[in-house]
Structure 1
């Protein structure tokens, strides 16, 4: 069973079918997808994403968390770890890839750091290294990654994009 993580302001839990409306709101926001694919997701793509998240937990015992506010239950975003088998150069191999997205109205409140800290604290128990890739123009995500111990190890190639590849090693 996927864990349920809690912080002072957030609940992080596995996705369910009932989360589709909130996830669709998240992934159909052009500000959310600006650096991830560059366009809002369709309902079909969001549904496939939720199923992929469920599959991660079933097959790999890690995955993405739906993050909600403790007080209101409102969807804040998604944070987690995955193995998307990306055709990125250099390859990630079997190293879990950290990722996060958050609705714009929650930016600037420290919630992304709070959520990602909870995910990484949980992951540190079994994952000595995680990686992430971030668009070079995504300054807020690069800043968050640095605060949580990610350092650049390469400029990658992913399709037509050249993301910054970062790693975090638990010592």
Structure 2
């Protein structure tokens, strides 16, 4: 990928996907300390220090790899809704997914079930299809996270392995 400092802005009918700003930090903390948000991702709320590191990592991906995570905000109100995008987290897992763009998405629990994930994941994959040139992307999902599995399958991800990550059962999906 390319070395860049700009995060592209993507608009959907109800959202704007944009780069992280320092002013997003409190909303980011609120999301990552919500047990409903973290139950299938980290298993527990994150301390502020780890939320800060995560926010810096998401922004840094764009600068180093030319892809990363976007903040998702509601177009009409500017309300913080969550985040979505691609990363290379250098995860220690088998089979290895290192070097592959790993898709991910997460939304504040107040908007679960309102169709934002479908809208945003569709938009980010349209972007990926143009920028990754049809290259394979992956995602990992907790086997109990039925909603995210449905979203992944809706965008042509197919389960390719049942593995573990950090000692927890994990499903590996591939697209492309």
Q: TM-score, normalised by structure 1?
A: 0.96
Which stretch of the first structure deviates more once superposed, 135-144 or 124-133? 124-133
Q: 1:8 matched to which residue of 2?
A: 13
Listed as ranges, the gaps of 5+ residues in structure 2 are: 1-5
Runs of 4+ in 1 over 3 A off after TM superposition: none
Distance in 2 between residues matched to 1:78 and 1:151, nearest whole Å: 22
| Residue 112 (structure 1) aligned with residue 149 (structure 2) | no
Residue pair 2:136, 2:175 contacting (<8 A) in 1 also: yes
| Residue 130 (structure 1) aligned with residue 134 (structure 2) | no
Distance in 2 between residues matched to 1:79 and 1:37, nearest whole Å: 16
Distance in 2 between residues matched to 1:107 and 1:50, nearest whole Å: 21
Spell out the pairing of 1:1-171 with structure 2 (5 A cutoff): 1-127=6-132, 128-169=135-176
Count of paired positions: 169
Q: 2:3 matched to which residue of 1?
A: none
Q: Deviations over 1:76-117 (max 9, x none)?
A: 111000000000110003111001111111111111010111
Residue 157 of structure 1 deviates from its aligned partner by 2.2
Residue 69 of structure 1 deviates from its aligned partner by 0.2
Residue 156 of structure 1 deviates from its aligned partner by 1.6
Residue pair 2:69, 2:87 contacting (<8 A) in 1 also: yes
**Over the residues paired in the alignment, what is the CA RMSD in angstroms?**
0.8
Residue 20 of structure 1 deviates from its aligned partner by 0.2
Residue pair 2:89, 2:98 contacting (<8 A) in 1 also: no
Q: TM-score, normalised by structure 2?
A: 0.94
Q: Deviations over 1:139-159 (max 9, x none)?
A: 000011111111001112212
